[in-house]
């Protein structure tokens, strides 16, 4: 199975021509970075006058320690699957994700009040109770008697987050590279907003806000543009020449701009129904996407961070390169191209789960609000349907079960002349003897009888 997926991977990956130019820009600079770091620390230790402000020294010391770790990671961490614009950029994003996970673990061991105080030490405007906006209320689309115009309700919902919404789904389409999975995540998140609107005011929206403004316009437009971009990247010809090997000025400029485009492109073929492992893998991928989306809203709510705060925007921006690398590594692992789970995929799973744990710990009063009965029944129906479909789809795809059935069928056919179908029928009624798997005629691994 792994061999077939590797073959599919080679067929779905674009051909690349590279003249092999290796300039100063691409060479390792480990000694240079080390010397710069040592000289900087020596200057601080020997020549800089030490301030007497303890809080300032602590914050600067922590920042310097993080910078040293990032410098080590940029020069020494293992390269990931992406090389443009430079492998050092992706090593930097990996190390930033490690620092973020360490901060999350630290916050997990605090109380919610202490966590808010720590955030306010970075930004004094924080640690204040917030009144989060609810987008529900009056759901009238046409109101001719209102002084702000008949469509005042619609225009009131079109705030600055619409652009962020569209861009978010554009990048999700680029990351997942699959129209079905992206749209399933989009639909499920709208359903989750219905599910948790009794807990978070942000999720309270009108029906047309959910399905027309969000799902069709914002989500749909972002996904559509993302799929168009995927189509272009899949058809693009990838030929790379060294900058100094290009003679024309215009060619040099185009080469410099193309440095920020992918080196090559792989079309994702998730094929979740091909086998049980891939079905569970894609299901967990979808679940992690949804949990990461929910974490965005719940973290703001429990830590009293305004939606427009730079902390929120920074986290969302960082999730783009983290998610791009992590999903690519996950795809390679699921397809058998990679022997182990990738480093960025590993750390982003840890980040999502740690964020969720913080939400559970700090927001227990919110999360324990009982769900409406119809919400509970709906998700119970969804889970039962998922389990039933999984059992129906994959019940005869376990090789051990196949081997067991065929061993019984072979024995019965030899002794009684029974067919394979009658063997299964007798098994259901409990009329078959247990197979002796130690018999020399039974080979469960090869799925054949000797």
Q: Give tens-digit pLDDT for 246-291.
A: 778 888 888 888 888 888 889 999 999 988 999 999 999 999 999 9
Q: How far is CA 105 from CA 98, 100, 101, 446, in A?
A: 11, 9, 6, 47
- Give pLDDT, residue 272: 93
Task: Look at the block and give the residue holding tokens 């999502």.
Answer: 352
Q: Are 256 and 380 in a shared domain? A: yes
For residue 238, the model assigns a pLDDT of 83
- The answer, yes or no, to whether residue 418 has pLDDT greater than 80, is no
Average pLDDT over residues 375-383: 96
**pLDDT (0 to 100) of residue 169:** 95
Does residue 410 register a pLDDT over 60? no
- Average pLDDT over all residues of the chain: 83
Predicted confidence at residue 435, as pLDDT, reads 40
**Orientation of helix 343-362 relative to helix 276-303, angle to 10°:** 50
Q: Are residues 335 and 439 in the same domain?
A: no
pLDDT at 3 over 50: no
- How far apart CA 89 and CA 87 sit, in angstroms, is 5
Whether the pLDDT of residue 152 is over 90: the answer is no
340 inside domain: yes
- Per-position DSSP letters for 312-379, written without gaps between them: HHHHHHHHHHHHHHHHHHHHHHHTTSSSS--HHHHHHHHHHHHHHHHHHHHTHHHHTSPPPHHHHHHH
Summary count for the chain: helices (H), strands (E): 18, 4
Residue 215 has pLDDT above 70, yes or no: yes
Mean of pLDDT values over 100-106: 97
> pLDDT at position 162, please?
85
Q: Show the domain range for 426.
A: 398-449
Q: Can you tell me the mean pLDDT for 289-309?
A: 94
Co-location of 243 and 322 in the same domain: yes
Assess if residue 31 is contained within a domain. Answer: yes
- C-alpha–C-alpha distance, residues 12 and 331, integer Å: 12
Residue whose tokens read 């227990």:
364
Is 316 in the same domain as 426?
no
Q: Same domain, yes or no, for 123 and 49?
A: yes
Output the pTM of the full model.
Answer: 0.82
pLDDT-based confidence at 445, cuts 50/70/90?
very low
> Where among 363, 388, 413 does a domain terminate?
388
Mean pLDDT score, 179-206: 92
Give the residue from 229, 127, 140, 246 showing the smallest Cα distance to 176. 229
Residue 30 near residue 75, CB atoms below 8 Å: yes
Residue 424 covered by a domain? yes
The arithmetic mean of pLDDT across residues 163-189, rounded, is: 95
- Establish if 369 belongs to a structural domain: yes
Count of structural domains, the chain: 2
């Amino acid at each position: 199975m792994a061999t077939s997926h590797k073959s599919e991977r080679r067929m779905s990956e674009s051909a690349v021509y590279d003249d092999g130019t290796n300039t100063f820009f691409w060479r390792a600079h480990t000694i240079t970075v080390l010397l710069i770091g040592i000289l900087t620390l020596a200057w601080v230790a020997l020549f800089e006058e030490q301030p007497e402000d303890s809080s300032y020294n602590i914050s600067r010391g922590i920042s310097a320690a993080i910078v040293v770790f990032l410098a080590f990671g940029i020069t020494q961490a293992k390269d990931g699957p992406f090389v443009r614009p430079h492998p050092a950029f992706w090593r930097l994003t990996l190390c930033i994700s490690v620092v973020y996970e360490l901060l999350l673990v630290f916050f997990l061991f605090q109380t919610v009040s202490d966590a808010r105080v720590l955030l306010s030490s970075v930004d004094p405007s924080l640690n204040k109770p917030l009144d989060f906006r609810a987008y529900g209320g009056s759901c009238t689309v046409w109101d001719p008697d209102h002084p702000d115009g008949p469509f005042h309700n619609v225009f009131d919902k079109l705030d600055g987050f619409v652009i962020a919404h569209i861009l978010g789904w554009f990048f999700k389409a680029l990351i997942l590279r699959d129209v079905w999975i992206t749209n399933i995540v989009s639909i499920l998140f709208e359903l989750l907003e219905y599910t948790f609107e009794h807990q978070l005011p942000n999720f309270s929206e009108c029906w047309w806000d959910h399905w027309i403004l969000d799902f069709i316009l914002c989500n749909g437009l972002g996904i559509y543009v993302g799929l168009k971009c995927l189509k272009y990247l899949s058809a693009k010809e990838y030929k790379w020449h060294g900058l100094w090997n290009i003679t024309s000025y215009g060619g040099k400029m185009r080469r410099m701009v193309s440095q920020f485009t992918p080196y090559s492109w792989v079309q994702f073929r998730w094929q979740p129904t091909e086998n049980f492992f891939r079905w569970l893998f894609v299901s967990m991928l979808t679940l992690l996407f949804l949990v990461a989306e929910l974490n965005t809203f719940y973290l703001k709510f429990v830590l009293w961070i305004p939606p427009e705060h730079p902390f929120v925007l920074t986290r969302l921006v960082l999730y783009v390169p983290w998610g791009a690398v992590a999903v690519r590594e996950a795809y390679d692992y699921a397809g058998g191209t990679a022997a182990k789970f990738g480093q960025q995929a590993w750390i982003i799973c840890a980040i999502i789960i740690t964020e969720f744990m913080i939400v559970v710990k700090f927001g227990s009063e919110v999360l324990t609000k009982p769900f409406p009965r119809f919400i509970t029944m709906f998700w119970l129906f969804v889970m039962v349907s998922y389990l039933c479909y999984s059992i129906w789809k994959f019940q005869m795809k376990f090789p051990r079960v196949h081997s067991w059935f065929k061993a019984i069928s072979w024995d019965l056919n030899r002794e009684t002349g029974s067919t394979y179908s009658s063997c299964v029928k007798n098994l259901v009624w409990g009329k078959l003897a247990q197979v002796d798997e130690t018999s020399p005629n039974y080979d469960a691994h090869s799925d054949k009888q000797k």
